[in-house]
Chain A
């Protein structure tokens, strides 16, 4: 029997503010425990929160990018629950009136179609601290450095129908958050985390009972966790059982989800408006001021790349996945004057080497200017595309500029016809049998001679020149 999966995602994006959402403490990651927690973060008696306006601005930025309504008046609410890393006994969040209302985002499906995913809302809230269980025998340590870090919780509609769509949505949102400078999206540091609401149903039927899977902090895990959860739910239903509404935790080591708490155990958070904070009032002028600072968005950039640089949709999508890659590409394309060549290199050698080294473009050791120099050597026939890849590898390893490496390693392409002729003459002389076979009609052997000649010239022979001369001599 056929089952349809229904997925909605709640994504927590940490906002790129220097200080916390309600206090002046730094939000920098990785400090010694409790060194970035001031009186307010510690929830000392008598302290009060003061809203960081930058967090509001960043929320508006994201709201504009997903074409959402920005609430003229939104309210902070207290979410009451006890936990040791929640210093006040409540989390300041938004409940009834979030800052960002209904919006949407289009994702690219594998078959090339576009699908629109609804975004219900996005609201501002503060992060909790961390409980440290490892270092204290039989006790729990509390680190409140993270407490009060600003988060934007972005809640989607249950519009995704399989794990791949969920991943595509999450990737797109991740790129968008980084594009906009709303957050750094660092998933290892927990700056971009996801909870997935998953249910199954017969196509066209009412929504099934959902389970919420917590703390999915990589694209790989989310896909696996959802697929695993879908199988689990189908198994339950097909063996006559009922899915219970509950919160489940994904364990990446065992590749399984396990129950955290059922609906019955769920907290009653007793939300109510936080009396310590005034409503957030946002005027149309405030929104326009933010809009004026918005960068070009990925979809617009992709269209522009296709039009301006005559790129394929595929190339343009890859190049606009991140703003840094797009900027790098544009610099290279403009510098060398050949967008197609630049696209091939950025999507090819550059991306591949970054992936091999698990690096981000921000850390790329070959600057756009350095790459331009190399591509110019391809364009003026100093090196072949193939040799250029070797030069690029050397540049990556810090061996110098393109010209210096070409020079030092003697990789300059041989365009001198007499030198190439000499090489070819020698090969023809040494391989009389193959020459005879070729001349008797075995065309395929042409490749053999090209290979021999390239090897003899250490790859430096200009391939076009070599082909021409070889053809000429073999036809004899």
Chain B
């Protein structure tokens, strides 16, 4: 086996060390991934756009700069991909929508610019649910994505393309976004590690907005260590995002090896009640016992309002999206209908043709929820309940250090199984949405496989800005176990 054939088995650190010690060049690493994408993407549909030429041009440049000693950082020479809602300068940025299928972004999102400056190589843009609205990657205007563990199953969503990309090792790291579970749920379905940091930890500038008060970007990769390395580059204050938080950014890799002795883990009883698939529950229980065996203290906690989270979310998120998506009007960029007969026709047809069904559904729900006479009953009430949900977590964190539970009630479901049942689809995010509404950091890491042979992820929720603690816990688990290194046989 030649070296190029095994680059994709390396961690971020392994790739970094490889290019910096001269084992292989950035170009070789880049080509290794580009070749894998070419080979496997037709089957998975995980990428919407592959930036082969610019990736190779970047690789040449970065090889040079590494040789000259100009670039030494942890991302220097490391390939990566981006969910296709991060604006990337000169690259088509579609949000998986016909509305933006022709949109070449004139600028880089904050995080895209950070990775570029750090010497990463952008391989391409990952498929996703249209405008990040969906839990199965089936709402994409560019076709659904297949789960590498079983290509008849969905990869989850909305960052489904990114999750499939990592699971099949078509990139060593990708950035996803999570509004109600869009990093954590697909990470669970695809056996990868993904973290949604505290709201405000990473700038949203250049992320095409779905629901502004919930959207948060985060890394997805095989391991917690890979996520920590990425967090070191992308986290921190950005003056262009008023909601980004001015708190010092720790070195997320510094405490990965901290002890878990005495760690107090809370299990919300509501997350282990009716609705949780028994085979998923069994895997979760086993992993919890593993933590207990390593000296963690397990406590039951309660989040009494968590059953209200899904309905609250489906008022707040659509309300914000109905407004956020108003800028897609066919006037300045994106899809414009042919021969509009007047202004209203231009708006109506451009939007009708540009948006898919799920996006339209949420725009309509949100428009209704904000309408005169309904605002108090829906939007305002939802915001009040949102505060209660946040208070539940605040109370729980008085007794425990972190919270654990399932990321999703089931393993990956079949393609098409829930497509025509929006409510069933919305309930996929039962366990992830409360965390999003509270603005807390949440992550998923692989803990094994259910009886159906599909992966199960553990959801780990930390207190505000405790991402370093969470990464430490997941990393420790990944020292005792090798679930996170497992790759479906045909993509090994």
Contact = CB atoms under 8 A, between A and B. Distances in A.
Nearest to B331: A84
A39 interface: yes
Interface stretch (B103-111, B140-148, B303-311, B483-491): B103-111
B444 to A, nearest CB: 25
B207 interface: yes
Contact of B204 (A48, A51, A78, A277): A48
Categorize the interface residue count of chain A.
20 to 34
A46 interface: yes
A237 interface: no
Nearest to A88: B327
B370 A272 contact: yes
B333 A45 contact: yes
Residue in A42, A46, A47, A277 whose Cβ sees the most chain B Cβ within 10 Å: A46
B87 A80 contact: no
Contacts of B347: 82
Nearest to B373: A268
B338 to A, nearest CB: 15
B207 A268 contact: no
Interface stretch (B37-45, B51-59, B182-190, B237-245): B237-245
Given A39-B106, A45-B208, A275-B212, A270 B371 contact: yes
Interface string B94-130: 0100001001011101000000000000000000000
Contacts of B33: none
Given A89-B327, A275-B212, A278-B242, A45 B93 contact: yes
A43 interface: yes
Contacts of A272: 319-320, 323, 370, 375, 379
Contacts of A45: 87, 93, 95, 100, 103, 105, 208-209, 327-328, 333
A49 B212 CA distance: 12
Nearest to B379: A272
Nearest to B109: A46
Given A47-B206, A84-B343, A275-B213, A270 B370 contact: yes
A46 B207 contact: yes
Contacts of B207: 46
Contact of B205 (A43, A46, A89, A278): A46
A50 interface: yes
Interface string A66-90: 0000000000001010101001111
B212 to A, nearest CB: 4
A82 B329 CA distance: 8
B208 A46 contact: yes
Interface string A37-68: 00100111111111100000000000000000
Contact of A275 (B100, B320, B329): B320
Nearest to B107: A39
A90 B328 CA distance: 12
Contacts of A46: 85-87, 105, 109, 205-209
A43 B212 contact: no
Given A46-B86, A80-B323, A82-B329, 8 more contacts: A39-B107, A45-B327, A46-B208, A48-B204, A78-B323, A270-B370, A272-B319, A275-B212
